[in-house]
Structures are given as C-alpha cells and as structure tokens.
Amino acid sequence: MSTIREGALVLADGTVFEGELVGAPHAVSTGEVVFNTALSGYQEIITDPSYAGQIITFTYPHIGNYGVNDTDIESRGVFCRGIVIRDLARRHSNFRANGDLGSFLEQRGLAGIGGIDTRRLTRLLRDHGAIPGAFGSASVADLTSAARAEAGTTGIDLVSTVTTNHEYTFGNGPRRIVAFDFGIKTTILRHLGTLGVVEVVPAATSASDVLSREPDGVFLSNGPGDPAMLDPIAAEIAQLVGKVPLFGICLGHQLLGRAIGATTLKLPFGHHGGNHPVKDLTTDRIEITSQNHNFAVDADSFSGLERDVKMTHINLNDGVCEGLEVVGAQCFSVQHHPEAGPGPHDSVYLFDRFADLMDSPMRLTKAGK
C-alpha cells in the first residue's frame, strides 16, 4: 500500500485546499489555475502544449480509471505545471491501457494533488477568474508566497518553450502543407497528414521561408500564452495573407486576427472542455466543440480594418468570436479544436474546408497549375 503524501493547494488570494500529493514529488509547483470540464481524455489534456504555464483542475471527479496508453499523447513532453483532481483511480481498466496515470505522471516529472474539493475550486475560479496558485509538500506559508509570486500567462511568451527547434515532416497526403508549430497537437497532425505532406516548422519561421517552399496551404497551430507577446510572428503571418490558403486553430486563430489588425483579449476563466456550443454563422449549424484557450479575438475590432473580415463562428455560451474569415484571401480560422482529441467531432469538416481552399480554382490559377 502506497504511503499517503499530504500536501496543500494555495491560491494567490490565500484560499487553501488540503489534499494528497500524487505523481512526481515536488515541494512546490506553481502556475495559473484553470478548470477543464471534459469527462474523459485526461491524457490528451495533460500532454496538450497549450496548457504550458497552467495547473489543470479536472471537474470530473474520477480521473485515471481507464489508464494511459502510448497513442493518446499529444506532444513530445508535458508542459502544464500540474494537475488538481478529486480522486485518482486506484485501479485502471481498459483494453487500450498499458499503464496507470500515477506512474505516467511520475515518469514525466509532473506533480498533482488529489482529494481536492474540485467543485468548490471550480466555482471559485468561475466567479473570480483564473488565478495563480501553488501546491506541494511545502508549508502553507511557502505555498502562499509562491502563488503570489507566480506571473500567470498574461504578458508572457510561452510559445518559445513548446515549439519545435527543428523542421520535420508528417503524413503522406497529396498536397504540400507548411504548419507553424506554436505547440501543435499530434491529433491535428494526423488530420493534416491525410490532406498532404506536412512540413512542420518552428514558430519563428519567416514568411519568405514559408513561401519559398511553394506550399499548397499554410496551417497556424494551437499553442499557449498571450498572443499579444507574439506580434513579430503575427507580422510574418500578415505577409502570407492573400498569397497562400491559410487555416488557423486556437492560438493560430488569435495570431491571424492580430496579423490583420484585430485585437485580442483575455477571458475571465477561459474555455476548457469538450462541450461548448458553437454556431457556424455560414451554415447556421450548431456544433458541440472541444476548447482550450484563455485568450480570444475581439470581433468588435473588425470594423475599420483594411481587409474585409467577418466573424464566421460564435460561442453560444458567452458570444465570444469562435471563427473569422478574411474575405477574398482564402484565409480562415477558428478558436475551437475541430480535431478534438479529446472531444466531439462536429467541427472536423473544417479540415475538408481547408482542403477545398487548397484545391480551389482561384488557387490553381494563381499557382499556375
């Protein structure tokens, strides 16, 4: 029987939650505390680079009950700062599993804390917004100091900590796609890989480098942190608009928005989960979507832009812009995750929309094909 390791989670406002430590032993782990409402997919969530700088609270009470496997890993490492759960399953059971979550956390050096009243914590975050926090085996006084010293995610470039440092290719589809890696998920690459050979490039790759590869399309990936800290990258994206079909997801959507002159803002507690209703304004179809973001594009900033930009999708919970199109430029993006991983697949058609753009008569004529 394993030894119980007592610990505590302390928020920057002084709120204390007592619990039991799981995963790798850390005296102190700090980050911006957010909550995720997904009922499953904890392995994909933990390995999603978009959570860099954050401590993930799972609202579903039982975590780890179906174990972990080698397939549902979304990146080369773990970039979140820790996890907060109500109950870690003592036994796992699933035909796909080849290990348990506790060991998975230990092997990757990630700490967690269980036994937490995650309902109370989630209500607090919902009412007051995402807040810095710290957890571990240290004293409450030390954890409080660490929480108050944590910078959060506003005003910080986290993409540089998750992007690839070398180019690589993925997939074998019939087209040629250049994908910016701002923290790209493996599930996204699997979808893109069916459309074409994907050349994945570092976040700081120049527009001229991308165009020299003569791609059929360019993809702007998901990623963590404040898009306002990435304006040099947005400036390069601006040079691609109208020259090649563009498709962006999550942070890629936000950076496309900034590239065309729109502004971005931070949401109180973000959207994290697999059950957000979104309306596609181009079809009037309602979709249930997977989401993971703390920042969003401000649709009110579209008026007065040099380019004709329209909002294509809207979040039905709070009216946040969930998609945009640069009219006449073969360029669009969405805030939610059509690849899911985890989540519903209502929006997977957007990859086909990207393929249609790459194959459109306008594109073929422009490329001289």
Whether 365 shows a pLDDT value over 70: the answer reads no
Query: Residue 117 corresponds to which amino acid?
Result: D
Fold exhibited by the domain 159-367: Rossmann fold (3.40.50)
| Dist. CA 88–CA 101, nearest whole Å | 8
Which of 74, 236, 322, 339 is labelled catalytic? 339
Cβ atoms 249, 348 nearer than 8 A: no
Rounded distance between C-alpha atoms, residue 358 and residue 365, angstroms:
11
Where do you find CATH 3.50.30.20 in the chain? 6-149
Q: Which of 191, 253, 276, 337 is catalytic?
A: 337
pTM of the model: 0.95
Residue 313 bears catalytic tag: no
Q: Is 345 a residue of the active site? A: no
Query: Residues near 266 by Cβ (< 8 Å), separated by ≥ 6?
Result: 154, 226, 294, 295, 296
Instruction: Give me the helices (H) in the chain, please.
Output: 42-46, 101-107, 118-128, 140-149, 186-195, 207-212, 231-238, 251-259, 349-358, 361-367
Look at residue 12 in the predicted model and tell me its pLDDT: 98
pLDDT in tens, 35-65: 999 999 999 999 999 999 999 999 999 999 9
Instruction: Give the tens place of pLDDT for each residue, 236-275.
Output: 999 999 999 999 999 999 999 999 999 999 999 999 999 9
Q: What is the mean pLDDT of residues 194-201?
A: 98
CA distances from 206 to 79, 188, 235, 238 (A): 25, 22, 9, 11
Does residue 302 have a pLDDT over 70?
Answer: yes
Instruction: Quick: pLDDT tens for 95-135.
Output: 999 999 999 999 999 999 999 999 999 999 999 999 999 99
Pick the CATH number of 6-149 from 3.20.20.70, 3.40.50.970, 3.10.100.10, 3.50.30.20: 3.50.30.20
| Tokens encoding 246 | 């563009």
Query: Among 13, 16, 14, 268, which residue's Cα sits nearest to residue 117?
Result: 16
Residue 319 has pLDDT above 70, yes or no: yes
Q: What band does 360 get if pLDDT is binned at 50, 70 and 90?
A: confident
Task: Name the phi and psi angles at 21, rounded to 5.
Answer: -75, 140
Query: In this structure, what DSSP letter does residue 217 have?
Result: E
Name the burial class of residue 211, with classes exposed (0-12), middle (13-18) and buried (19+) by CB atoms within 10 angstroms of its CB.
Answer: middle
Of the residues 250, 271, 313, 322, only one is catalytic, namely 250
Question: How do residues 73-99 score in pLDDT, each as one tens digit?
Answer: 999 999 999 999 999 999 999 999 999
Specify whether 339 is catalytic: yes
Span(s) in the chain for CATH 3.40.50.880: 159-367
DSSP conformation class of 244: S
Q: CB neighbours (10 Å) of residue 50?
A: 30
Q: What is the mean pLDDT of residues 223-231?
A: 98
- 23 — pLDDT class (breaks 50, 70, 90): very high
pLDDT for residue 361: 65
Omega of the bond prior to 215 within 30 degrees of 0, cis?
no
